[in-house]
Amino acid sequence: DQQVKQNSPSLSVQEGRISILNCDYTNSMFDYFLWYKKYPAEGPTFLISISSIKDKNEDGRFTVFLNKSAKHLSLHIVPSQPGDSAVYFCAAGSGTASKLTFGTGTRLQVTL
Amino acid sequence: DAGVIQSPRHEVTEMGQEVTLRCKPISGHNSLFWYRQTMMRGLELLIYFNNNVPIDDSGMPEDRFSAKMPNASFSTLKIQPSEPRDSAVYFCASSLEGRGLTDTQYFGPGTRLTVL
């Protein structure tokens, strides 16, 4: 029972265009969400997060949108750059608990 | 500053052998997490510690897996006996307080385990 789902295993986007990565969750107790980025042979690194009291959080080229009623969040990267090519993991947590539930990841490839 | 350190980076072993993975968290961090990454299930939390005490081990697959944190700067994840289905990348992560959204988890580079 995957509580956090990333249904697109891979995505290819042209440099300069927008990349949209999607994530769905089933547990209504989740109240904060994060995106992690992972390069090959490295551990995941934190990218951006959002609390359930917001519906949008922006950090430079990265914006995360949260739709609580649909239990859906998305990560927008604008403009996409070749260095953004990586695997992106969506994660969710609840309250002040440390435990994070991760999705299976989406591999983004930004082409020239 | 050194990040989370994991050893070995790669481990190849035969079915039935004991495997021990090691982790040194970031100095000053009070929470430590062990994750397993597979294609099918993504990143799964196996166990996490706070102030060296196991808090949640509900993700540990079965009794063959055990984890210890004898002090604030060292943790081990042991698999005995190992099986081919244990082949995966195992990550260790640490965080300052382990308190949700505001407390970023920092991951090590992972140990790629292959059980033949």
The three-state DSSP-derived secondary structure of A24-72 is: EECCCCCCEEEEEEECCCCCCEEEEEEECCCCEEEECCEEEEEECCCCE
Q: Does A39 touch chain B (CB under 8 A)?
A: no
Per the CB < 8 Å rule, is A101 touching B55? no
* Dist. CA A87–CA B110, nearest whole Å: 15
Average pLDDT on A14-22 reads 98
Distance from CA of B63 to the nearest CA of A (A): 21
Q: For residue A104, which residues of chain B lie inside 8 Å, CB to CB?
A: 39-42
Closest CA relative to residue B22, chosen from B95, B104, B103, B113: B113
Residues A59 and A50: beta-carbon distance below 8 Å: no
Cβ–Cβ under 8 Å, residues A49 and A33: yes
Residue A111 in this model has a pLDDT that exceeds 90: yes
Average pLDDT of chain B, as a whole number: 93
Confidence band (pLDDT; 50, 70, 90) for A97?
confident
Which element (helix H / strand E) includes B54?
strand B53-56
Query: Cis omega (within 30 of 0) on the bond before B8?
Result: yes
Alpha-carbon Rg for chain B, nearest whole angstrom, is: 13
Give the pLDDT confidence of B10-62 residue by residue, as tens digits.
Answer: 999 999 999 999 999 999 999 999 999 998 888 999 999 999 999 999 999 88
Ramachandran quadrant class, A47 (left: phi over 0; alpha: psi -120 to 50; beta: rest) = alpha
In the predicted model, is pLDDT for residue B98 greater than 90?
Answer: no
CB contact under 8 A, A98 and B50: yes
Q: Within the 73-92 window of chain A, which residues sit less than 8 Å (CB to CB) from chain B?
A: 89, 91
